[in-house]
Structure 1
């Protein structure tokens, strides 16, 4: 009997708390409804109408997608996905579980009332749930933009009370539901955290200024980069009139001409694709000459990463004598790698992704390129670190690349003394499906089929005989074994320095 009496007291206490909160909810609603305010009368009906059917959030998402910042674009996509799930849960499930009548809106000024007063259950507020889901979704990828969206979402919630559509408690319940669904989504598809790599000061090399290019020998192919080389020649000749220019023909021995130029040069300069730049880097290392790079190829990855993405930047570096050292990789002690090396179908993957990313975005382009490569690429079995794996995608880069995963795109520094190795195993059961699923969910780096390491030296053997190795945009010879070694800060290059 005593136990039943205590339970009865507890139930009455809970019921009284609920009744008290309900009374407070109604009183707050009435206080807002009866408050005369030109701002509430004029602005709130327009805001709540804009949020009908999530039109406001879709418009904002389209604007965010038009920006060039990847975190903001990811936030827009995550926000819309969170909103879609939340709208379904709130309207099809939430309003059927918690049956609460709408407020008595006769006390709300006519000018402030919603044009179309809803007739569904009041709890939770669907507008507020969608607003919170979108704001939190955006904020998980881009905190500054998410804060702005949260402020706007709060105003949408207030508009639902001010126009008589909901009690304040309905709005708070909607905020909680939308935020919870967005956070739960982040557990399934984690946000991308952009890694910040510690950057040390570059190793500067003292050298003389060359305002007219005296002592510089430029070796360049006029036809490189679909004619870009010819434009580089004209700009460089005008800016550095005393620089010697050697123009390559298609039948020339590039290595021999580079060596000849290095013998008489104080500075070896090169213009062309990354393959030509890699050849010049090897010659400059052997001849102990600093290297100047003009962006004369198609992609100019190395030139861009050292800050010489325009002829003007390279010219200014030569004039000012601005030189710093970067790492290069030695391949089997004879070859030189300045950017990347790969075996298997990785070059095909990169080409397919870059071809599509401007039309459908990098994430979708990456998924399609991965599917295409895994379906059609020829796998290679390699042995390294006491284990043998089959791979269709093998990437090795000079210095650390960002981001993690199989879309490395940039280097924040080029003198960390490390190489970046990434391998996807493709021999295990359902490996293609598992890889594509992990990629689509943003969890590839957590997959047991994905291996990423940063090391100063790496060796692998091709188990089933010679395999083609590509590096710096060119196909090298077939190899049975490859050893890559970092030459730490071995190559002096002209580059803009702070």
Structure 2
């Protein structure tokens, strides 16, 4: 503290004074979070976790620790602390430093989701923490403990919101197929309704695969019928798809029917499958096509009321989610996709009623049932990533509603990271599962789309059915 107070006046004083003022009420972190929010999906997750960490750290340090552990600010009357560098002395307890707690919380929260962004934010957070000593409003120990509190709160968010793994899923065994240089012999199907108007994915596909034929779907006709007609007429050596997950599963299903390998390009809004399978980079996938490098991927399938099977590459669900999808689709033309989704989710949760079902013959009352293609992680939280799509299993999770205060207990278990031991959450991995509805037919959602209504659902994994181009 004395070393800092004895520093001669310099331009550094004004900079640190401005920085510590900008961090008042976490304004600085809110501005940085807004900037991250404009930089892509991963950066948005980092910004959200950072601000949630700031909220928790600020509440803990200012509302709990300061009143419990009162401490005087550094004295103003002694010679070594007379230089305050123009910052008003707060009247609250000096211990711990709320500014340092918020700074460390934001930097740590961002780093958990996006290490590169966290590395960029860390020097700013460190400068804010030091500015509290440099301007004479905190003891160094206030800053150290405040930073520890903030980092601990950010790390603690992982107990109820898992960090998404960035490593791609493990797929099945690798095979070699006929190389298609520059995409020669491949037909790439494009959904014009997927993604955004300024999405460059289609242009990248055409650049990296100049000899591939690109076919744009007619929105007025069944996509599966269009694929079958084109395959019958042209006899391609492989199929490609540029679109969202709903389009991916349609083309993947056609590729299975025609025994053809498939290349997936992330042309949708969320692109869960492309991200999980590690085929989000167009150039890498194009190289795999030129090399003839494929890997086997499991496919999920569900038969509704004994009829035709429906495939899914990601997830399928019963309960509130299908109703949310239907409301979102109804309101999307008026409000846009994301506002419509938020309003639909709020509406459904407010009026949710439990489903009475049988799961492999055992009767349950559930709020929702989730069936994932492959193994999702973590097992004891909301699934955030998919480590494997090659084990021939389905990830089945449901939320029992026949427990007292089930929704309240479920929320409490989620926030405290104790879902694994809670009887309001059940998770298992099985090769197949049979679900019966006791009562009226309900909607089934698969890969984000409502596909059917029924009372009997037979889910199963089809190991290694999809031949996916992926570079080793």
TM-score of the superposed pair, with normalisation by structure 1: 0.68
The one of the two structures with greater contact order (alpha-carbon pairs below 8 A, sep at least 6) is: 2
How many angstroms does 1:235 deviate by? 7.0
- What residue number does 1:321 align with? 292
The change in CA–CA distance for 1:62 and 1:461 in structure 2 (over 3 A counts) is same
Cα deviation code 1:40-89 (max 9, x no counterpart): x6645763675369528531353145321534541333224322442345
Indicate if the aligned counterparts of 2:396 and 2:427 stay in contact, CA closer than 8 A: yes
Structural RMSD (CA): 5.0
CA contact (8 A) 1:224 1:298 kept: no
Equivalent residues of 1:255, 1:279 under 8 A apart: no
1:51-450 pair list within 5 angstroms: 51=20, 54-55=23-24, 57-67=26-36, 68=43, 70-71=45-46, 73-89=48-64, 94-95=69-70, 103=75, 105-108=77-80, 112-115=83-86, 118=89, 124-125=93-94, 129-138=97-106, 141=109, 142=111, 145=118, 148=123, 151-152=126-127, 155-159=130-134, 163=136, 168=139, 171-172=140-141, 175-176=144-145, 179=148, 183=152, 190=159, 192-194=161-163, 196=165, 200=170, 203-211=173-181, 213-217=183-187, 220=189, 224-225=193-194, 239-241=209-211, 243=213, 250-251=220-221, 254-255=224-225, 258=228, 261=231, 264-270=235-241, 274-293=245-264, 301-303=272-274, 305-306=276-277, 317-332=288-303, 334-349=309-324, 371-385=346-360, 387-401=362-376, 408=383, 410-411=385-386, 413-436=388-411, 447-450=422-425
- Tell me if structure 1 keeps the 8 A contact 2:316–2:446: yes
Aligned counterpart, 1:480 = 455
Count of residue pairs the alignment pairs up: 446
SS class of match (2:163):
coil
Larger relative helix fraction: 1
Q: CA–CA distance in 2 between the matches of 1:175 and 1:236? A: 54
Shift of 1:441: 6.6
Q: Distance in 2 between matches of 1:432 and 1:289?
A: 46
> Bigger shift: 456-465 or 400-409?
400-409
Q: Kindly state the Cα deviation for residue 93 of structure 1 after the two structures are TM-superposed.
A: 5.5
* 1:381 counterpart SS class: strand
Match of 1:456 among 431, 435, 439: 431
Output the CA distance in 1 between the equivalents of 2:103 and 2:224.
56
Contact kept, 8 Å, 2:252 with 2:466, in 1: the verdict is yes
Q: Secondary structure of 1:86's match?
A: helix
Q: Is the 8 A contact 1:396 1:420 kept in 2?
A: yes
TM-score by length of 2: 0.71
Per-residue deviation, 1:187: 6.7
Per-residue deviation, 1:492: 0.8
Distance 2:131 2:212 in 1: 67
CA distance 1:174–1:474, change in 2 (3 Å): closer
- Structure 1 residue aligned with 2:39: none
